[in-house]
Structures are given as C-alpha cells and as structure tokens.
Amino acid sequence: MTQARVIDLVTDAAKTRAGIGAFNVIQLELAEAIVEGAEMAGRPTILQISQNCVLYHGSLAPIASASLALARQSEQPIGVNLDHATEPSLVAEALDLGIDSVMFDASTLSDQANRASTAAVVAMCHRRGVSVEAELGEIGGKDGVHAPGARTDPEQAAAFVEATGVDALAVAVGSSHGMTRRTAALDFDLIAALRAKVPVPLVLHGSSGVADADLAKAVTAGLTKINIGTLLNQTLTESIRATLANNPAMVNTRKYLGPARRAVAQVVAGLIGLLAGGVKP
C-alpha cells in the first residue's frame, strides 16, 4: 500500500456521507498506534503533525519522515497532514518533504488578513498539487487564543472558501481544543446549515471533547474530517501510569510504551469504525 492523498480520503468520505478520523501524532508510538488502529478497523485514516509537535521535536523532518514511512508501508490507505501551521515557511518545508495536505491557520488575524494569507498559501500549495484546509470562526482552546463560544457563520464561511480556494474548512460549532472531558455540546443545526452553504468538506477540531454519540451525529449532520488528539494523549498516559503503578521498579521503556501503544490503537480503531458509521445507504 502506498501513501494516500489526504484530499482523496476526505473527498471519498464526503461522497458517502461518512466521517474520517484525523489523529494527531506527537511521538513515534502514537503514529504507530494510529496506523495499527486503522489496520484493525480495516479503513483509511489520517496522521496529523501539528506545528506544536514540530516545536516539541525541534524540527519537522524526523517526525514527518517517520509518519510518511508508516503511511507507505501500511496495509490501509494512510494520509499525512500538517496541522495548524501558522508559518508559510513551515508549509513550504512540509511540501518539500512530501506531505500533500496542510491546515493553514491564520484565524487569529483580521478577516481580511486571514483571507489574504490563506489565499497565498493555497496558491503555493496548489502549484504543487497539495490541498489546504483553513479555519474561519475561531475554535476554542488552542493555546488560550480562541474564544470558547465562537461559531462559524455559514454565509461568511461560503464567502471565505470562494475568496481563498481552500479545499476543506475547519468550523467552530461548539467543540474546543484540549478538552479532557467529553462534554462539548455541538450545534447540529449550525452544522447542517454550514453543510448546505459550504462547497468543500467540513472539519471538526477539538473532537476529543465530544461524546461518541455526538461524533456520529455530527457526521450525519454534515461534518467529514474529525480531528482527535487529546483523547489519544489521555489513553497513552493513563496506560503508562497504570503499568508503572503496578511495576514500580520497571525501567525498560518498551515494557510500558508497548501496552500504551496497543491501548491507543484500540481507541483509534473504535473511533474509525464509529465515524464510518455515518455512511448512508
């Protein structure tokens, strides 16, 4: 199996009214777990590398190269996306490394500046055959920058897509980044209204705070790409804590990272299957 193009995975899911999971990578173990989860579920998925992940590692190339290698050798189609990039230079580096999808986030700028910056990145990426996701309507919780109660206006969203040429749009409908409890209340009527107005696939950020039933309902209402990160971090951390609590003398990292990786893979597999349940006859 070769690396899949993210836009193809998202477009295929949108055509069948299914959802596709996009899971954030921080360590290699998480990337391996996400791919294993996709293979367990027997369905494609997306690995995401955020700008914060790049800052954690100090550079993009090592974690991107590892993620791309995992995608190429997987039994399932796996795409790799650069997530929440705010610097065009990082986008350009991702393109040179072979990443074919980027989420460019200029949502902290004024509407006019957001449109101009996003359009410039879209032009650069489209010249290289790379798709672009962007954000209009700030989504809560990202580094304390975004307003928690933000909502995306359907008319403004449609105008933004037309002005910038983006291939997918992240929308604010009630979720928030970094939630450790699954208590977010999504606005399903707004999701349906956005789906009716916006001509490109819609993306939900901050999905870790959304309960399973509401994730499935959100796909039915019109969301396609579902971003999940914090829930995987929780799963990995809780498994490691439990293993070390039961084995206080353990020092071999493989002994606690291995079970944690398997736990994350199981969560990923379940979520992929849940989101695929949005398929309509």
Sign for the CA dihedral angle at 111, 148, 273, 44 comes to positive
Of 226, 231, 203, 206, the closest CA to residue 216 belongs to: 226
What are the residues whose beta carbons fall under 8 Å from the beta carbon of 30, sequence distance 6 or more? 23, 24, 232, 236, 261, 264
- CA–chain centroid gap for 163, Å, is 23
Query: Residues near 133 by Cβ (< 8 Å), separated by ≥ 6?
Result: 81, 101, 102, 103, 104, 166, 167, 168, 169, 170, 203, 225
**For 224, how many CA atoms within 13 A lie in the half-sphere containing its CB?**
25
Q: Tally the residues of the chain.
A: 281
Catalytic annotation present for 83 = yes
Q: Kindly name the residue from 12, 83, 105, 187 that is annotated as catalytic.
A: 83
For residues 171 and 204, the answer to whether their CB atoms sit within 8 Å is yes
DSSP letter for 222, please: T
Do residues 101 and 7 touch, judged by C-beta distance below 8 A?
yes
Determine the 3-state secondary structure of 138 from DSSP: coil
Number of other CB atoms surrounding residue 280 within 10 Å: 7
Active-site residues, by number, are: 83
